[in-house]
Amino acid sequence: VDWGLQYGGLENHPYYHVSTLAFGDLNVHVHEIVHGWFGTGVRLACWHDLVLSEGTADYYAARAVEAVLGDEAGKKRWDSYEKFYANKVAQGADSIVWPAECGDAKTAQTLLTQLLYKKGALFWRDVEELVGMKLLDAQFAAFFAAHKHKAGTLKTLLGAIEVASGKSLDALIDKWLKTKKP
């Protein structure tokens, strides 16, 4: 799609759109394809849950790249997320990506940055390390099945993961979603 100088993509499954500037970027394609589980499948119940959409899409995009292209490609993807986040922190641009209140469209505009995508993906990677990939995937699948064509919240998914794993996610939520690095 020719969006002028706009870089990126947009999910609208069963199709997705990628700008002419980003058309050669595998990462944009994979991210938009991953949104197939979300958006038209499960809607956000609130704007403050954007990390559920975008952070999850970047998390599964990294896993997809790793599964298809191998460990080295997956590591490169994760390294790019970490580098992006470290650069933003160094520039003083870190932000809370899961605010306490729902907010409005202005909240969404404030949240909708690549920082939210990367912090969300890194959050899910740490959750996976804590509870295991198999359990995390099972909880995402159950969440999708329970909320297909309905609205869902990050709080609901996180609660289900805690119950299924018997582990608290509070430290990871604080580290990645509720705080800024100084």
User: Which two structure tokens, joined as six digits, stand for 147?
Assistant: 């909320």
pLDDT tens digit string along 115-172?
899 999 999 999 999 999 999 999 999 999 999 888 899 999 999 999 999 999 999 9
The helix or strand, by DSSP H or E, that contains position 159, with its residue range, turns out to be helix 154-165
Q: How far apart are CA 144 and CA 81, in angstroms?
A: 25
Can you spell out the DSSP letters for 93-132? ----SS-SS---HHHHHHH-SHHHHHHHHHHHHHHHHHH-
- 44 in Cβ contact with 102 (< 8 Å): no
pTM: 0.90
Length of the chain: 182
